[in-house]
Structure 1
Amino acid sequence: MPNGIGSASSALVKRSRPDDDEDVGSRKQIAIASSDGGKSKGLVRSIKRTSGLQAPIVALSGAHKAEILDCKFSPDGQTIAAASSDKTISLWETYGENANLTLLQGHSKAVTAICWSPSAPRTSPRLFSASADGTLIVWNPSTGEKLRRLRGHKGIVNSLACTRGGKEILVSAGDDGLVLLWDPEDKYPLDRIEVGYPVTAVEFSDDGSQVFVAGVDNDIHVYDLSRKTILFSLRGHTDSPTSLQLSPSGSSLLSFSLDSTLRVWDVRPFAPEPPPGHIGSARLHRTLTGATSGFEQLLVKVAWSADGENVAVGGGDRTCTVWNVEKSKILYKLPGHKGTCTAAAFHPYEPIIVSSSTDQTLLLGEIDI
């Protein structure tokens, strides 16, 4: 027997040949099996690292005592916010030790949705939250201070969004059938739209002049805010949409529905004629399948990647699914959660994704896209 083979002090290393155009320094060695209680490594392989995370995948847990319903990266990508049914919002470090920074407390019922201000200075970021207690709260996440509580809804608030530029305006919607517009500096609504039935999701257009409204009638209606009238409607879902998000370019709207389909809509003011053979709404660009909404009827949240090429959504199959939009191709089915995956969010600068779940945990990991 050759010297050392089979002894406790030896290790078997599987070496991968890097691609010709790949930076060898970006590859790390990790142990994937061991012997003698971990004292000696049994099998080591090289993997390509794509981000500045300390590990390729990290579980963030221990902060919440109930389901996590939403998660978002801060605009600078340094912080993650997570909203929970336990009435709190947790803040986490994206990098380093991934420490739980603080817990924001102020709502009296489940926190259903959150969003960061895209225009607030990096030195004084702002976070907005919506709750089943019928209110919104404006937070200073740096200090944990509650800056303002916004009252106007008469029931559960399901969704909120913020304008991308110009004057900072919020829109919120809920089970009371109201869509309310807010100046975060004023505790009373600026304006209101009475839809007349429960609204599950809202989103602003790129210039903030329109609001996309989805509810239990299964359609997505585009409201002109100056006239408070419907400009056009996006029809195709066969069950209530659970989430809406505008693409980084502002030209496409992403929607997920309880019918387990993810749809990409062309929302440009003057959309071109659809190509020959196009089926369905003239504005329907893609229908993506492969995720399931689940039996819990949760308002699962969608996400666009920063480059606008990929989208992600969770689902009742306990995975986070990532697609390339133009290829209509599933790139990843990310496992790890022990319950419904309720939300996903892409990092604004790096190939990193975070997902939340009813299992009370966040999974933070790097992908190769």
Structure 2
Amino acid sequence: MPLSMDVHSTKPWILLCHVDGEVSIWNHQNQTRVMAFHLNSDGEFAGLFHVGAAKFIEPLQVFVAHDSVGFIHVYSYEKVEKLQKFRAHTENVTSLAVHPSEPLVLSASDDNLIKLWDWEAGWQCIRTFEGHSDWVLQVKFNPHTAGNTFASCSGDSTIKMWNMDSPTPVASFVCDQGFAFTLDYFCHGGALQYLVARTAVKGSAQIWDLQSNTCIKVISGLQGHGRNIAVVEHPSGRPILLTVSEDRTVAFCDSTTHRYEHRFNFNLGVVMDFAYITMTKR
């Protein structure tokens, strides 16, 4: 069963992580498998191991994957081989984020830490970010600040904003509806920036104004607990909030009216993740 996915920006490829430890690349145009890798662990971690998610690093022609025992794996899709494996955290790695222009990758973990890795320095950890008091569920670079800032959400019921040059958060939002599962940035235009987070409360999400650091809207009406949320571009140019839930539906919310305009059930079972293919607007 696939747990997560990523898409390549120039190749018609989808990167899938499977619960059994397989990572595969598929061509979404002809619906064929391009290649597959098995990341299964052995030894003391064999019974605990699963792959969480993977991300393309296109300048290196590799992907990185994280696992449930604290390791990050680096594989070349050009040479179809494993390049590196290193211990990143003492517990389950929950999220990875690839910097949009610098040779950097963020990792988050159940050990409450966020770490910044420099692949040009041999995958050295160049900074550790501390501030959460519970597991960190997701990290994401802010695309509107050239990646100089990023956000994280945690089981401690906070969303924190960070500057890459500082090990401590620059702002913190308290989710009064419990912890946030996942988050994304979006912008209507101009200088106004927002962050949307899917909360632990069944069927709800919050929109935060990053200028005033306040929650300006609580979106309700979803069914089931959220699995993922992201902002995608509507063909008209305005941002659309796309969410997937445990109720097996994919829902589209207008980011201006905050109303859910469409819901779809593709009869796929529980929808775990999604990815936006910019080249086809799909």
The answer as to whether partners of 1:153 and 1:178 remain within 8 angstroms in 2 is: no
Aligned mates of 1:168, 1:325 — CA distance in 2: 34
Following the alignment from structure 1 to structure 2, what is the Cα–Cα distance between the partners of residues 260 and 153?
A: 33
Segments of 4+ moved more than 6 angstroms: none
Q: Distance between the aligned counterparts of 1:283 and 1:168, measured in 2? A: 32
Gapped regions of structure 2 (runs ≥ 5): 42-48, 258-282
Question: How far off its partner does 1:160 sit?
Answer: 2.1
- Select the structure of larger CA radius of gyration: 1
Pick closer, same or farther for the CA change 1:223–1:282 going to 2, 3 Å. Answer: closer
CA deviation digits over 1:172-216, x for unaligned, max 9? 101132101122234332222123432111122233522212112
Given the superposition, is the C-alpha separation of residues 153 and 293 from structure 1 closer, same or farther in structure 2, using an over 3 Å criterion?
A: farther
Does 2:125 align with 1:230? yes
2:244 is matched with 356
Partners of 1:247 and 1:171 in 2: CA distance:
20
Deviation at 1:283, TM superposition (A): 4.3
C-alpha contact (below 8 Å) 2:104/2:116 kept by paired residues: yes
Query: What does residue 343 of structure 1 align with?
Result: 228
Partner of 2:160: 263
1:253 aligns with 2:169: no
Q: Name which of 171, 193, 196 aligns with 2:86.
A: 193
Is 1:287 the counterpart of 2:182? The answer is no
Where do 1:110-129 residues align within 5 Å? 111-118=2-9, 120-121=10-11, 125-129=12-16
Rounded Cα–Cα distance in structure 2 between residues aligned with 1:326 and 1:168:
37
- For residues 182 and 189 of structure 1, the distance between their equivalents in structure 2, rounded to whole angstroms, comes to 4
Report whether the alignment pairs 1:149 with 2:36.
yes
CA 1:352/1:315 → structure 2, altered by over 3 Å: closer, same or farther?
Answer: same
Task: Indicate how the Cα distance of structure 1 residues 134 and 333 shifts in structure 2: closer, same or farther if over 3 A, else same.
Answer: same
CA RMSD of aligned residues (A): 2.3
Closer/same/farther in 2, CA of residues 147 and 208 from structure 1, 3 Å limit: farther
For the 8 Å contact 1:153–1:176, the answer to whether it is kept is no
Q: Equivalent residue for 2:104?
A: 210
Match of 1:166 in 2: 59
Cα deviation digits, residues 323-363 of structure 1 (max 9, x gap): 12222122332212221112111014422111111111111
Between Structure 1 and Structure 2, which shows a larger proportion of strand residues? Answer: 2
1:97-135 superposed Cα distances (whole Å, 9 cap, x missing partner)? xxxxxxxxxxxxxx22211113x15xxx22111122112
Change (3 A) 1:351 1:224: closer
d(CA) in 1 for partners of 2:240, 2:127: 35
SS of equivalent to 2:35: strand
What is the one-letter code of the residue matched to 1:114?
M
Higher relative contact order (CA 8 A, sep 6+): 1
Query: What CA distance in whole angstroms lies between the structure 1 residues aligned with 2:91 and 2:255?
Result: 39
Give the C-alpha shift of residue 250 in structure 1: 1.0
Long gaps (5+) in structure 1: 1-86, 88-110, 272-280, 295-299
- Percent identity over the alignment? 16
SS at match of 2:252: strand
Residue 209 of structure 2 corresponds to residue 324 of structure 1 = yes
Shift in Å, 1:302 = 2.0
Question: What does residue 35 of structure 1 align with?
Answer: none
Aligned pairs for 1:80-99 (under 5 A) are 87=1
Indicate how the Cα distance of structure 1 residues 185 and 336 shifts in structure 2: closer, same or farther if over 3 A, else same: farther
Is the contact between residue 240 and residue 258 of structure 1 (CA under 8 Å) also seen in structure 2? yes
Q: Is the 8 A contact 1:316 1:339 kept in 2?
A: no
Task: Tell me how far apart the structure 2 counterparts of residues 354 and 233 of structure 1 sit (CA, whole Å).
Answer: 31
The alpha-carbon distance between structure 1 residues 282 and 228, as it changes in their structure 2 partners (threshold 3 A), is: closer
What CA distance in whole angstroms lies between the structure 2 residues aligned with 1:153 and 1:255?
28
> What is the one-letter code of the residue matched to 1:366?
D
Cα distance in 1 for partners of 2:14, 2:217 equals 30
Would the alpha carbon gap of residues 282 and 242 (structure 1) be closer, same or farther in structure 2, given more than 3 Å must change? Answer: closer
Are 1:304 and 2:195 counterparts? no
Residues 2-42 of structure 1, C-alpha deviations (whole Å, 9 max, x = no match):
xxxxxxxxxxxxxxxxxxxxxxxxxxxxxxxxxxxxxxxxx
- The count of residues paired between Structure 1 and Structure 2 equals 238
* Distance of aligned partners of 1:313 and 1:153 in 2 relative to their CA distance in 1, 3 Å threshold: farther
Secondary structure of the structure 2 residue equivalent to 1:330? strand
